[in-house]
Amino acid sequence: MTLADHIRTESARLAALCTACGACARACPMLPYAPAAHQDPAAATFGMRDLLRDGPGSPQGLAWIAVCTRSGQCSSACPEGLDAAFMLRLATWRAKGALGEPPRIPVKEDSQLNARVKAFARLTMTADEQEEWL
């Protein structure tokens, strides 16, 4: 199974179980930073679920997905016991175009990522390890 197949399968499975009640969105500490979603948490959840079902999503859902910082508070708030944080992660990948579709939310390009990873790696490596691996 490819990663894209896994994303599609898990998206469909979780979307089928979700009632889009809005409890996860109401628990999200980032919702106030997404004005469209903040006004109607149930619409934000519905839009996220729609995206997982291969739909276009909604402005509220896309706004919520765009501000998600993966706090995980959504999962514990779900009355269905679903892993809402994982649902949001899947929705984020899909909204960013991971399945070959055009991105629906802004995608940040980080040209300095490799340099930062190397800098952090140096903090924990001996001089010999740095010579060998970097």
Could you report the per-residue pLDDT of 32-70, keeping only the tens digit for each? 999 988 899 999 999 999 999 999 999 999 999 999 999
Q: Is residue 113 part of a domain?
A: no
pLDDT of residue 65: 96
Task: List % helix, strand, coil for the chain (3-state, nearest 5).
Answer: 65, 0, 35
Domain assignment of residue 32, given as a range: 3-107
Which among 10, 4, 3 has a CA at the least distance from the CA of 87? 10
Average pLDDT (58-87) is 95
More confident residue, 38 or 89: 89
Q: Is residue 114 part of a domain?
A: no
- Total domains, the chain: 1
pLDDT of residue 31: 92
Q: Is residue 127 part of a domain?
A: no
Q: Is residue 129 part of a domain?
A: no
Q: Is residue 79 part of a domain?
A: yes
* Average pLDDT of the chain, as a whole number: 91
Average pLDDT (18-41) is 94
Percent of the chain at pLDDT exceeding 70: 100
Q: Answer yes or no: is pLDDT of 133 > 80.
A: no
